[in-house]
């Protein structure tokens, strides 16, 4: 497997250099030209390695290995969240420094996607003939609504079983439900002229700014805010929306600055930060509900707050919404995904768990996460890597990177896992 280590590193770097964050729609480039270029780079590489490929209108593509009737999916994505602030490396530089490959997408999910491709190449080279047609499917809209998966289902046949290398090790048997809600808080008399923060619903807000009608510099500085002319700015720390505790939400200190001047601002704080209606008390074996208000805007005498909720996998979504209704404000569902929940003792879960244990020398148990992966697009799908227990969080954060040692491990582990599941 080490024969393809250098090639994999080079290809990951090349892929990172495409800014595949969501851009303006066009009929030819539904998620932007750079994202389409990234997809075609990946498919072109696969063709050079001797695989059949298909590009479905720059929404999504696939690499095919084998011609059996039964199919097996490996679901990855090439789109990324925006770079955000706070980088010490070039976000789309794709450079190798200090034993790691740096750039947006290195871990989520370009690095693992490339490793899976070279794992298929290694199997092909040694004469492996899969008993199932392997489809390495690479989407371009995982971070923003999954319309790529919808397009694939219209144009092709989705396999029933497979895994997504877009989560955690040892193996993910359950994923919480995902609910993005836009809350409308009427504010006819706002204490600010402008308020805006956050870039995307599934990223903890790392920058928020406002223009107060009256500015108290001492108070602003006490809250850790930066004053620029008539504007106040809060800088936080980005993190994945499913793990808001790993970030610092920049919206909070901005709202705290205005709380004494507005009952509506206090109401927003009570609902989405102080959680007075107890949403975060909801829990089951897959963990507690998390709630992260990641985007805020003041428009037409109302404050709009986009909240990322990850709710326990065995909990009905109606129970969550019944508590949201107590906020007493209009809300709309921007994005919704049902939870994923599988039997821990299934052949798929146990085969991947065994592979992990053999490759790492560590005993482990299947786990549940708050993140959402393409595994939900399958009748029987689970998450399998690339993050290890104890890894410092880098996904959706500044200075995202993947270590060279992790690349080596992924190449070996994915080759072994794919072979066992399709032999």
Q: Enumerate the active-site residues.
A: 79, 142
What's CA 133's distance to the chain center, in Å?
27
Task: Indicate the DSSP class of residue 2.
Answer: G
| C-alpha to C-alpha distances, 310 to 174, 232, 273, 275, 337, nearest whole angstrom | 12, 31, 15, 14, 10
What b/e readout covers 1-10, taking b as 16+ CB neighbours within 10 angstroms?
beebbebbbe
| Helix boundaries (H) for 86-223 | 110-125, 147-155, 217-222
Q: Are 121 and 61 within 8 A, CB to CB?
A: no
Angle at 347 between CA 346 and CA 352, to 5 degrees: 105
What is the four-CA torsion angle of 266, 268, 272, 275, rounded to 10 degrees? Answer: 40
Judge if the upstream peptide bond of residue 325 is cis by omega within 30 degrees of 0: no
Residue 296: Cβ-neighbour burial (10 angstroms; 0-12, 13-18, 19+)? buried
Write down the number of H helices and E strands in the chain. Answer: 10, 24
Cβ 90 vs Cβ 152: under 8 Å: no
Q: How far apart are CA 156 and CA 284, in angstroms?
A: 36
């Amino acid at each position: 497997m080490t024969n393809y280590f250098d090639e994999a590193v080079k290809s990951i770097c090349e892929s990172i250099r495409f800014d595949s964050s969501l851009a303006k729609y066009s009929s030819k480039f539904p998620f932007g030209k750079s994202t389409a270029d990234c997809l075609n780079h990946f498919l072109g590489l696969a063709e050079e390695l001797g695989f059949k490929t298909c590009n479905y209108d720059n929404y999504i593509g696939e690499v095919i290995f084998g011609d059996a009737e039964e199919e097996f999916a490996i679901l990855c994505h090439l789109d990324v969240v925006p770079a955000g602030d706070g980088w010490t490396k070039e976000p789309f530089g794709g450079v190798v420094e200090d034993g790691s490959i740096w750039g947006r997408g290195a871990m989520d999910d370009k690095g693992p996607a490339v490793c899976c491709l070279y794992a298929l190449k290694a199997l092909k080279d040694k004469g492996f003939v899969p008993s199932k047609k392997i489809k390495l499917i690479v989407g371009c809209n995982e971070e923003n609504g999954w319309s790529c998966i919808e397009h694939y289902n219209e144009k092709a046949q989705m396999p029933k079983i497979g895994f997504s290398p877009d989560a955690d090790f040892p193996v993910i048997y359950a994923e919480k439900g995902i609910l993005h809600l836009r809350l409308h808080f009427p504010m006819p008399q706002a204490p600010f002229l402008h308020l805006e923060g956050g870039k995307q619903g599934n990223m903890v807000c790392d920058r928020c700014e406002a223009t107060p009608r009256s500015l108290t510099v001492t108070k602003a500085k006490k809250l850790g805010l930066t004053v620029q002319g008539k504007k106040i700015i809060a800088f936080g720390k980005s993190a994945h929306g499913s793990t808001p505790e790993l970030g610092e939400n920049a919206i909070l200190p901005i709202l705290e600055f205005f709380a004494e001047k507005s009952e509506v601002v206090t109401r927003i704080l009570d609902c989405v930060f102080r959680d007075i209606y107890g949403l975060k008390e909801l829990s089951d074996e897959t963990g507690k509900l998390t709630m992260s208000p990641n985007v805020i805007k003041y428009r037409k005498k109302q404050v709009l707050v986009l909240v990322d909720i990850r709710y326990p996998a065995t909990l009905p979504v109606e129970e969550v919404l019944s508590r949201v209704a107590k906020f007493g404000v209009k809300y709309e569902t921007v994005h919704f995904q049902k939870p994923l929940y599988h039997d821990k003792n299934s052949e798929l879960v146990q085969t991947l768990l065994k592979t992990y244990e053999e490759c790492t020398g560590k005993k482990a148990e299947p786990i549940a996460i708050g993140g959402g992966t393409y595994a939900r697009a399958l009748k029987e799908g689970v998450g399998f890597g690339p993050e290890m227990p104890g890894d410092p969080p880098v996904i959706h954060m500044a200075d995202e990177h993947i270590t060279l040692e992790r690349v080596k491990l992924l190449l070996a582990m994915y080759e072994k896992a794919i072979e066992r599941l399709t032999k």
